[in-house]
Amino acid sequence: MNSFNKEQLLEDLKNWNTTLKKYQIPNTKKAVIQIANSFSFYLALLALQFYLFDKSVLFSVALAILNGFILGRIFIIQHDCGHRSFTKNQTANDIIGTICSVLTCIPYQYWAKSHSFHHAHNGQLEYSDIGDIECLTTDQYAALTLKQKIGYRIYRNPFYLFTIGGFIYVVVYNRFAFLKSDYFKKVRKSVTISNALFIGVYVIFAWLLGPTRFLVVQFVNLLFFGTYALWFFYIQHQYEHIYKSGKDNWNYVVSAVKGSTYYDIPGVFHWLTGNIGYHHIHHLAPTIPNYNLPKCNRENPIFEKHTNVITFWQSLKTVQANLWDAQKQKMVSFREYTRQRKANA
């Protein structure tokens, strides 16, 4: 049973907004340094990939293992710009975010809007399909048809989700404004503009570098980027003892701290992933720039005290978190769900 002292958590964090205020101030120097090292690293590796392509396609493609991470780091810059936190100047944020989006193939304004919705509804079971990995409750899953159950199982299967699933999300899903509610009305047209920009850039570089060389290198980079991005996002909200709730009983502070994880990984991977592993703090105060998150975490261990801390090896078990069991108040695997259904039959 996932139990925690909600009252104690809220008492300990009652002044969280005041405590975190100083970390929410963007730092121009840090922003410029992050842009410089991220883009220079990415472009240098990309140039090497193109150079090696005619000599050894295998070596060229192998570099995507690293460059996919760097592309993820660039995406975090885009992500922070969408939160309007990367720099103090909002015009600069929009320009930087748009440039990043050309490399990541994720529309800047539309995705930022979807992500803001995710932050405002993190852990709410009614909205798990918007800006998050869709999560069904055991009762919802039981009510599905056989075909729908198979579809959901495929969707939650790691061999799909963390291979072509991430690629499809980045390259295909983001090409269309599937979310049609009024909340997204103002940004739907931006997807068309983004697509035109992507196509224009791709045509130019395919012509300059050769279509085969450019498309193979770029799409393999996007494949690894999509896998890494989806993995790091998935484990932040699908852990066994994560917090989820119906909207009527939902609490913002609890959802941020208990509905997200702190990924305890070596510093180099925090660097490569733009510090997204400090997700508990990010959800509590999304206007903290990613470059301020490590310092905030070091100086305020009270936040880590209440969150779900997971290591890399523990995170591998998150692929078994498939359904939300309201009775047990935790995520369960398909196997556990089936076993429970048989026991209750």
Predicted local confidence at residue 4, as pLDDT: 78
**Please, which pLDDT band fits residue 2 given cuts at 50, 70 and 90?**
low
Return the exposure string of 277-299: e unless at least 16 CB atoms fall within 10 Å of the residue's CB, then b.
bbbbbbbbbbebbbbbbbebbee
Cα gap 278→260, rounded to integer Å: 9
Mean pLDDT of 49-53: 94
Question: Residues 86, 38: contact at Cβ < 8 Å?
Answer: no
Domain locations in the chain?
6-344
Mean pLDDT of 51-56: 93
**Please, which pLDDT band fits residue 143 given cuts at 50, 70 and 90?**
very high
- Amino acid identity for residue 245 in this structure: S
Mean pLDDT of 118-136: 88
**Please, which pLDDT band fits residue 178 given cuts at 50, 70 and 90?**
low
* pLDDT per residue as tens digits for the range 257-304: 999 999 999 999 999 999 999 999 999 999 999 999 999 999 998 888
Predicted local confidence at residue 317, as pLDDT: 92
Predicted local confidence at residue 1, as pLDDT: 42
Q: What is the mean pLDDT of the chain?
A: 91
Three-state SS annotation for the chain: CCCCCHHHHHHHCCCHHHHHHHHHCCCHHHHHHHHHHHHHHHHHHHHHHHHHHCCCHHHHHHCHHHHHHHHHHHHHHHHHHHCCCCCCCHHHHHHHHHHHHHHHCCCHHHHHHHHHHHHHCCCEHHHCCCCCCCCEEHHHHHCCCHHHHHHHHHHHCHHHHHHHHHHHHHHCHHHCCCCCCHHHHHHHHHHHHHHHHHHHHHHHHHHHHCHHHHHHHHHHHHHHHHHHHHHHHHHHHCCCCCCCECHHHCCHHHHHHHCCEEEECCHHHHHHCCCCCEHHHHHHCCCCCHHHHHHHHHHCHHHHHHCEEEEHHHHHHHHHCCEEECCCCEEECHHHHHHHHHHHC
Is the predicted pLDDT of residue 55 greater than 60, yes or no?
yes
How much of the chain, in percent, has pLDDT values that exceed 70? 97
How much of the chain, in percent, has pLDDT values that exceed 90? 73
Is the predicted pLDDT of residue 164 greater than 70, yes or no?
yes
* pLDDT per residue as tens digits for the range 213-252: 999 999 999 999 999 999 998 999 988 899 999 988 999 9
Is the predicted pLDDT of residue 59 greater than 80, yes or no?
yes
